[in-house]
Amino acid sequence: MLVNEDISVEKETLNDTLVVDKKACMDCSFCSKTYPSLFDMYEGKVKLKNMNFENVEKIKLQIVIDKCPSQAISVE
């Protein structure tokens, strides 16, 4: 499980599946307010919390993916 602390890293992944593009993130905090146990904010950018992707609530995640204004969150 990888959660990278380095904010200079543009992308952060959870189990090589959930990807957040920190460079694209525009600091609206929608993701961290909607799903605070998965998303956090750090220095104006989205940050993933340490969680196994299997335990992620997929419906809630999909809402965040769909409504992120910068399309910075994806599942690969």
Q: Taking CB under 6 A as the rule, does residue 65 contact ligand SF4?
A: no
Q: Report the nearest approach of ligand SF4 to the CB of residue 1 (Å).
A: 20
Tell me which residues in 32-61 interact with ligand SF4 (CB under 6 A).
46
Please tell me the distance from the alpha carbon of residue 48 to that of residue 68, in angstroms, as a whole number: 14
Which of 38, 56, 61, 73 is in the footprint of ligand SF4 by CB under 6 A? Answer: 73
**Quick check: 28 and 69 in contact, CB under 8 A?**
yes
Among 13, 19, 29, 63, binds ligand SF4 (CB under 6 A): 29
Q: CA–CA separation, 7 vs 29, rounded Å? A: 16
